[in-house]
Amino acid sequence: MVQGVGYRNACKRRADELGLSGWVRNNCDGSVEVEIEGSQHELGELVFWCEKGTNDAQVREVSSTRVAITGTDWFEIRS
């Protein structure tokens, strides 16, 4: 459960710290989706963070897929 625990805001802060671009949003089924671009090392760091999340989050699973690069240079929270 990552709803109502500040997961998206914390994810954005971590992505900004790592210099990543992309977005994070809640899905209707209660899951959270993150799309990120950046160097391999920083991508790995954010995936590691996503696996743990905030102190109040209960993360069961993180899966990843490669998607086309968009070239954005910011990270945003989407609704």
pLDDT at 56: 87
Reported as a pLDDT band with limits 50, 70 and 90, residue 3 is: low
Q: How do the domains of the chain map onto residue ranges?
A: 7-78
Among the options 9, 14, 25, 26, which is catalytic?
A: 26
Distance of alpha carbon 47 from the chain centroid: 7
Does position 74 have pLDDT exceeding 60, yes or no? yes
CATH architecture assigned to 7-78: 2-Layer Sandwich (3.30)
Residue 78 known to be catalytic: no
Look-up: residue for tokens 């990120």?
Answer: 36
Task: Work out the mean pLDDT of the chain and round it to a whole number.
Answer: 92
Among the options 8, 9, 14, 55, which is catalytic?
A: 8
- The alpha carbon torsion through 18, 4, 59, 56 (nearest 10 deg) reads 90
**Mean pLDDT, residues 22-32 taken together:** 92
Calpha distance 34→50 (Å, rounded):
9
- Check: pTM over 0.85? Answer yes or no: yes
**Mean pLDDT, residues 30-49 taken together:** 95
Residue 26 known to be catalytic: yes
pLDDT at 57: 87
